């Protein structure tokens, strides 16, 4: 997918593009600015999600920003690896609640369908990055937040990390959640997806959700050091990554996974809204 596509997605989701036509963070006056900052440490590109007011929850704006930065880094031949980090106590609390309510009210409404689709396509974009990717995950990861981490090639987790699937939200998994779990962390997949269990740092490595667990204050530094091991030779890193992706595609691709899940997820969102409306009617 092209940068033009993500410019259009971003502008339609948030109805805002900067005067020069480039994607920009939400720096307009308001209480909850959002951005995804792209910085460099040598050949390592670091993408930092800054949407702490919503616990780094994903919406069309954040997904569009992430996608545009991913494309920019992927198109730069001097980049040999990527780190996906997030500011604040939690890595990603899942899907934005406002978006989920809108999608639940009318799952087929074009705006809501496009915005959730933009998030899911961003996962696919991350999973198919031309360079190796590292998620530096701290605090809570819920639902789609687990997807964001597992769409990366490797997860470095902090010692306060907590993984939680969709089960306790009363919503069917979406965004390729099941295929990502089965591919990346098969030991954790049934516990998170079927039984609604919460997995903490103690079991994150054993179940395959993380490569290693480090103290919170060492998280970003460790993730960057791991990324540097791949980024030392960007040209070779890209060649190996292309072959690795081709070999991995023998399994269900992330995009096929989210398409498989999507109808059932939309049903579960609509069911939740109908139940809420029913309770409201009973109270009335």
- Per-residue pLDDT of the chain in tens (284 residues, 90 and over written 9): 555 555 545 445 444 333 333 333 333 334 467 899 999 999 999 999 999 888 999 998 999 999 999 999 999 999 999 999 999 999 999 887 777 777 777 877 888 788 888 899 999 999 999 999 999 999 999 999 999 999 999 999 999 999 999 877 778 888 899 999 999 999 999 999 999 999 999 999 999 999 999 999 999 999 999 999 999 999 999 999 998 898 887 676 778 878 887 888 778 878 878 887 776 655 45
* Gap between the Cα atoms of 231 and 211, Å rounded: 18
* Distance between CA atoms of residues 206 and 187, nearest Å: 8
Query: Does residue 63 contact residue 122 with C-beta atoms inside 8 Å?
Result: yes
Q: What is the rounded distance in angstroms from the CA atom of residue 223 to the CA atom of residue 214?
A: 10
Structural contact between residues 136 and 82, judged by C-beta atoms closer than 8 angstroms: no
pLDDT score, position 121? 93
The pTM score is 0.81
- The continuous run of DSSP H or E covering 269 comes out as helix 254-283
At residue 30, the pLDDT reads 43
Rg for the chain (alpha carbons), in Å? Answer: 18
Question: What are the distances in angstroms from CA 133 to CA 16, 22, 41, 208, 274?
Answer: 29, 24, 14, 16, 40
Helix, strand, coil percent content, the chain, rounded in steps of 5: 50, 15, 30
- Model pLDDT, residue 7: 52
Query: Which pLDDT value is given to residue 32?
Result: 60
Q: Which helix (H) or strand (E) holds 50?
A: strand 44-50
pLDDT of residue 2: 54
Two tokens, residue 63: 């997904």
Neighbours of 76 (CB within 10 A): 15
Using alpha carbons, select from 10, 220, 32 the residue that is nearest to residue 115.
10
- Report the C-alpha gap between 275 and 270 in whole angstroms: 9
Where helices occur in 106-218 by DSSP H, the ranges are 110-127, 144-150, 177-184, 189-193, 201-204
For residue 187, what is the DSSP state?
T
């Amino acid at each position: 997918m092209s940068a033009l596509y993500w410019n259009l997605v971003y502008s339609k989701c948030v109805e805002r593009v900067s005067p020069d036509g480039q994607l920009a963070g939400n720096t307009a006056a308001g209480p909850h600015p959002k951005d995804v900052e792209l910085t460099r440490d040598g050949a390592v590109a670091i993408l930092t999600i800054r949407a702490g007011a919503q616990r780094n929850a994903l919406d069309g704006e954040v997904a569009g920003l992430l996608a545009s930065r991913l494309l920019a880094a992927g198109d730069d031949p001097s980049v040999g690896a990527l780190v996906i980090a997030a500011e604040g106590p939690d890595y990603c609390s899942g899907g934005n609640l406002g978006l989920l309510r809108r999608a639940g009210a009318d799952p087929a409404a074009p705006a809501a369908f496009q915005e959730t689709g933009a998030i899911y396509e961003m996962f696919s974009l991350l999973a198919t990055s031309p360079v190796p990717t590292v998620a530096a995950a701290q605090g809570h990861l819920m639902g789609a937040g687990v997807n964001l981490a597992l769409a990366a090639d490797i997860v470095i987790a902090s010692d306060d990390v907590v993984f939680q699937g969709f089960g306790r939200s009363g919503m069917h998994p979406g965004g390729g959640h099941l295929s990502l779990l089965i591919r990346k962390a098969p030991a954790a997949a049934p516990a998170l997806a079927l039984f609604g269990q919460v997995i903490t740092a103690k079991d994150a490595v054993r179940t395959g959700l993380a490569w290693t667990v480090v103290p919170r204050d060492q998280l970003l530094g460790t993730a960057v050091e791991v990324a540097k091991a791949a980024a030392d030779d960007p040209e070779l890193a890209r060649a190996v990554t292309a072959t690795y992706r081709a070999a991995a595609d023998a399994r269900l691709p992330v995009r096929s996974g989210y398409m498989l899940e999507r109808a059932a997820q939309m049903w579960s969102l609509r069911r939740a809204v109908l139940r809420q409306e029913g309770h409201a009617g009973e109270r009335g």
